[in-house]
Amino acid sequence: MNTERSAQLMERARKLIPGGVNSPVRAFRGVGGSPRFIESGAGCRMVDVDGNSYIDYVCSWGPLILGHCFPPVMNAIRAVLETGTSFGAPTEREIELAEEISTAVPSMEMVRLVNSGTEATMSALRVARGFTGRDLTIKFEGCYHGHVDSLLVKAGSGMATLGIADTAGVPRAFAETTLALPYNSVEAIEAAFTAHGSEIAAVIVEPVVGNMGCVPPLPGYLQAMQALCNQHGALLIFDEVMTGFRVSFGGAQELYDIRPDLSTFGKVIGGGLPIAAYGGRADIMSRVAPSGNIYQAGTLSGNPLAVASGLAMLRYLKAHKDVYQQLDRAAARIAAAAPEGVTVNRVGSMFTFFFGTGPVTNWDTAKTADTARFNAFFHHMLENGVYLPPSQFEAGFVSAAHDDEAIEATVQAIRSFR
Active site residue ranges: 144, 239, 267
Of the two residues 6 and 243, which places its CB atom closer to ligand PMP in the complex? 243
Q: What share of the chain is helix, strand, coil (3-state, %, to 5)?
A: 40, 20, 40
Describe the strand order of the beta sheet including 38-42 as a list of residue ranges.
38-42, 45-48, 53-56, 386-387
SS (H, E, C) 262-302: EEEECHHHHCCCCCEEEEECHHHHCCECCCCCECCCCCCCC
Of the two residues 52 and 391, which places its CB atom closer to ligand PMP in the complex? 391
Q: Smallest distance from the beta carbon of 267 to ligand PMP, in angstroms? A: 7
Q: How far apart are CA 389 and CA 353, in angstroms?
A: 11
Cα–chain-centroid distance for residue 41? 20
- By the 8 A CB rule, do 277 and 302 touch? no
Q: Smallest distance from the beta carbon of 190 to ligand PMP, in angstroms? A: 24
Closest residue by Cα to residue 330 from 401, 235, 227, 269: 401
Q: Smallest distance from the beta carbon of 198 to ligand PMP, in angstroms? A: 27
Q: How far apart are CA 347 and CA 206, in angstroms?
A: 13
Provide the residue count of the chain: 418
Encode burial over 155-166: b for 16+ CB neighbours within 10 A, e otherwise: bbbbbbbbeeee
Q: Smallest distance from the beta carbon of 34 to ligand PMP, in angstroms? A: 23
Q: How far apart are CA 100 and CA 217, in angstroms?
A: 27
Of the two residues 211 and 352, which places its CB atom closer to ligand PMP in the complex? 211
Q: Smallest distance from the beta carbon of 237 to ligand PMP, in angstroms? A: 11
Of the two residues 145 and 232, which places its CB atom closer to ligand PMP in the complex? 145
Residues interacting with ligand PMP, by CB under 6 A? 61, 116-118, 121, 144-146, 157, 206, 210-211, 239, 241-242, 266, 276
Q: How far apart are CA 213 and CA 374, in angstroms?
A: 12
Of the two residues 153 and 406, which places its CB atom closer to ligand PMP in the complex? 153
- Sign of the CA dihedral running 72, 73, 78, 80: positive
Of the two residues 225 and 338, which places its CB atom closer to ligand PMP in the complex? 225
Q: Smallest distance from the beta carbon of 379 to ligand PMP, in angstroms? A: 23
Q: How far apart are CA 227 and CA 242, in angstroms?
A: 24
Q: How far apart are CA 225 and CA 91, in angstroms?
A: 38
Of the two residues 129 and 145, which places its CB atom closer to ligand PMP in the complex? 145
- By the 8 A CB rule, do 200 and 138 touch? yes
- Sign of the CA dihedral running 246, 247, 249, 251: negative
Question: Residue 347's beta-bridge partner residues?
Answer: 350
Residue nearest to ligand PMP (CB): 117
- By the 8 A CB rule, do 143 and 157 touch? no
Q: Smallest distance from the beta carbon of 243 to ligand PMP, in angstroms? A: 7
Encode burial over 51-67: b for 16+ CB neighbours within 10 A, e otherwise: ebebbbbbbbbbbbbbb
Q: Smallest distance from the beta carbon of 28 to ligand PMP, in angstroms? A: 17
Of the two residues 3 and 345, which places its CB atom closer to ligand PMP in the complex? 345
